[in-house]
Amino acid sequence: MPRQSLQEILAGIDSLDMELIERTFEFGAKAHEGQKRKSGDDYIWHGVEVVRILVDLNLFDSVSIASALIHDVVEDTGYPLSDIKNEFGDEITGIVDGLTKISRMDGYVYRSAQDEQVDNYRKLILSMARDIRVILIKFADRLHNMRTLFALNEEKKRRIARETLDIYAPLAHRFGIALIRWELEDLSFKYLEPEKYKKLAKTVQTKRGAREQLIDLFKEPLQKAINEAGIEAEVSGRPKHLYSIHKKMERRG
């Protein structure tokens, strides 16, 4: 159940205004009642999954979480923005309005991958998002949409993947949100070049054990030296994500 999942996601975060979040959940569930996503899920699940991503980003802000739960109401239902303002006030209304304006541009302003046009579109998005929370919720919204892209037809998959790779992944990089950027890039790569993606994923998985051994080989002496120096730190390593490997292979032929 969406409500139960939301409660589990937010469990233990004592700073939240749960009364506000509960009211926005009810509002969103009612507004989207009967609507299904292409994946077959009830629409309210999308808002809950966007909240999950925000929590993963450590965005424990009641207004952000409340806004995420109703961010598609104006765009995808018959409810006007004035209803949200009457129910939840100016702050949430401003965030939802910013997200609605950006959503209405997606797939409309963006027509090609020309560098100047892409950069202008990024600037346009940033200029419309007067509240930083608009951008953060938009990243979470786009990431969940990319995670469920399999349900769309091929033309939409490619359009949304291209837009994500050219617009939203670089913006996430600019904001320093590496985990969002990496997943957006890998998912875009998966739908734009499926054969290359599958081949590379299989190769990387095959060599996973050797790669982890190499990381451990470097970690151990570094950790020992740091400990002996009296520095409190933890050494960790990660494999490059697939799109990054792909781009490096292209650059090096």
The residue behind tokens 């961010």 is 71
Summarize pLDDT for 29-77 with one digit per residue, the tens. 999 999 999 888 999 999 999 999 999 999 999 999 999 999 999 999 9
pLDDT at 15 over 80: yes
Q: Is 75 a catalytic residue?
A: yes
Q: Work out the angle at residue 186's Cα, subtended by the Cα atoms of residues 207 and 150, and round it to the nearest 5 degrees.
A: 115
If we measure between CA atoms, which residue out of 202, 92, 87 comes closest to residue 137? Answer: 92
- The pTM assigned to this predicted structure is 0.87
Summarize pLDDT for 75-119 with one digit per residue, the tens. 999 899 999 999 999 999 999 999 998 888 776 555 555 666 777
List all residues 6 or more positions away from 130 whose beta carbon is below 8 Å from its beta carbon: 94, 98
**Rounded Cα distance, 67 and 192, in Å:** 31
Catalytic residue among 26, 41, 61, 76: 76
Q: What is the pLDDT, as a whole number, of residue 206?
A: 75
Catalytic residue among 22, 26, 75, 83: 75
Question: Contact, 31 vs 77, CB < 8 A?
Answer: yes
